[in-house]
Amino acid sequence: MQKNIAQGNLIPFVSVQQMVALIDSLGVEAFMTELAGYIEEDFKQWSLFDKSPRFASHSEVGVIELMPTSNGKAFSFKYVNGHPGNTRHGLQTVTAFGVLADVDTGYPVLLSEMTLLTALRTAATSALMAKYLAPEGADTMAMIGNGSQSEFQALAFKAMLGIRSLRLYDIEPAASRKLQRNLQDRGFDIVVCDSAQAAVEGARIITTCTADKRNATILTEQMVGSGVYINAIGGDCPGKTELDPLLLHRARVFVEYEPQTRIEGEIQQLAADFPVTEMWRVISGQADGRRAQDELLVFDGVGFAVEDFSALRYVYEKLSDNQGYDKLDMIADPDDPRDLFGMYLRLAPSRKGEAA
């Protein structure tokens, strides 16, 4: 770790409000563009990363996951849950927080909210992959599924790919109206469509990100022409997919980390030997991205721990000394490590003033 804003036992903490302020001060588009640079840098150093499967604790109503990784210098993990029924009780379906730590000392150096940060890193990852995979000159994106991730996707593709025209479709018209309203002063030309078929007309980039928790077919093989790039990020857990298998068979498919995507991604519908390309190979120049303008390419994105690592690393670097974060008294700091009890005695309210 190059920087040290952590001071021994006091661990920097970035709250939701502080994350909002950090994003606001940098600008949403600049934040995601810079973050994409960090993700790109980490994907270029793919072999350094400890790529563990995520740890998942399942119950009847949801899942709690820990997603750890390390590049040998820093260690990170994200805590994230998924509870589809939570909205019935006024709670969020997904909440997340994460920790960055220094491998050399084992000390945590950052605790951060990650609900917002995950939305930003997901969109930054999508736009980064599109830089390598989208057809040249595409300026129109169809967005099928206009939920909580959609504004971030639109802004990342605007900032990094030059997308100016959006064609929206959601099974709930209110979601499209919400997206249109939230983006109204961001310089987009927005058309709300009444079907997925209508939305993809003339769009050379298609983002699918619906909330449907089953094997759905948002895009059929017939709906998509050649020379298109599909940013498929809504199929991200077992039993949840969005694309027609025939469409995948016609395309070249790109993934983050193959063992995880085989389980969680669109390709869970296909044979285990269906060929895919890991994006770190494209980003580091070891495999082709787009070979011709008329190819159909698919990024089957599920979200990987390295992206969370990059995001925490980016936020950590952006914090200025004593600004934009709190400090948590989270790590006991006895003067003599063999004398933890002595520390307790010195700090105990009932003992204050006594010689320990």
Show which residues are catalytic: 236
Among 41, 55, 213, 239, binds its own copies (CB under 8 A): 55
Site for its own copies in 199-238 (CB under 8 A): 211
Handedness of CA 30, 16, 265, 85 (dihedral sign): negative
Q: How many residues line the site for its own copies (CB under 8 A)?
A: 84
Q: Looking only at residues 137 through 156 of this chain, which bind its own copies when binding is defined by CB under 8 A?
A: 147-152
Asked if 63 is part of the footprint of its own copies (rule: CB under 8 A), the reply reads yes
Distance CA 211, CA 170 (A): 10
33-52: which residues touch its own copies (CB under 8 A)?
A: 50, 52
Q: Which two tokens stand for residue 278?
A: 């890991």
Locate 119 and state its tokens.
Answer: 């939305």
Contact present, 194 and 134 (Cβ < 8 Å)? no
Determine the Cα–Cα distance for residues 46 and 69; give it in Å rounded to an integer: 11
Does position 349 interact with its own copies (CB under 8 A)? The reply is yes
Segment interacting with its own copies (CB under 8 A) among 109-117, 135-143, 254-262, 294-302: 109-117
Taking residue 36's Cβ as centre, other Cβ atoms within 10 Å add up to 27
Smaller CB separation from its own copies, 66 or 270:
66
| Site for its own copies, residues 259 to 278, rule: CB under 8 A | none
| β pairing state of 74-82 and 229-232 | unpaired
Nearer to its own copies, 198 or 345 (CB): 345
The interface region with its own copies, picked from 14-22, 126-134, 156-164, 223-231 by CB under 8 A, is: 14-22
Residue 59 C-alpha from the chain's centroid: 24
Residue 294, judged by CB atoms within 10 A of its CB (0-12, 13-18, 19+), counts as exposed
Nearest distance from residue 52's CB to its own copies, in Å?
A: 7
Contact with its own copies (CB under 8 A): which of 5, 35, 46, 82?
82
For position 198 contacting its own copies by CB under 8 A, the verdict is: no
d(C-alpha 207, C-alpha 233), whole Å: 7
Q: Which is nearer to its own copies, 42 or 244 (CB)?
A: 42
Site for its own copies in 111-140 (CB under 8 A): 113, 115-116, 119
Contact 212, 148 (CB under 8 A): no
* Sites for its own copies among residues 160-189 (CB under 8 A): 175, 178, 182
Tell me which stretch binds its own copies (CB under 8 A): 104-112, 189-197, 202-210, 251-259: 104-112
Q: Which of 12, 33, 68, 251 binds its own copies (CB under 8 A)?
A: 68
Minimum CB–partner distance for residue 203 and its own copies (Å): 21
According to the binding rule CB under 8 A, does residue 249 interact with its own copies? no
Check residue 336 for interaction with its own copies (CB under 8 A).
yes
Across 213-238, b (16+ Cβ under 10 Å) vs e yields eebbbbbebebbeebbbbbbbbbbbe
Q: What is the secondary structure of 270-307 as a DSSP string?
A: S-TT--EEEHHHHHTTSS-S--STT--EEEE----HHH
**Pick from 29, 37, 51, 64: which binds its own copies (CB under 8 A)?**
64
For the record, the structure tokens of 242 come out as 């969005």
Residue 30 or 340: the one with the smaller Cβ distance to its own copies is: 340
| Cβ–Cβ < 8 Å for 223, 246 | no
Q: Based on CB atoms, which residue is closest to its own copies, 107 or 252?
A: 107
CB nearer to its own copies: give 126 or 149: 149
* Among 41, 104, 189, 288, contact with its own copies (rule: CB under 8 A): 104
Give the separation between CA 34 and CA 95, rounded to whole angstroms.
24
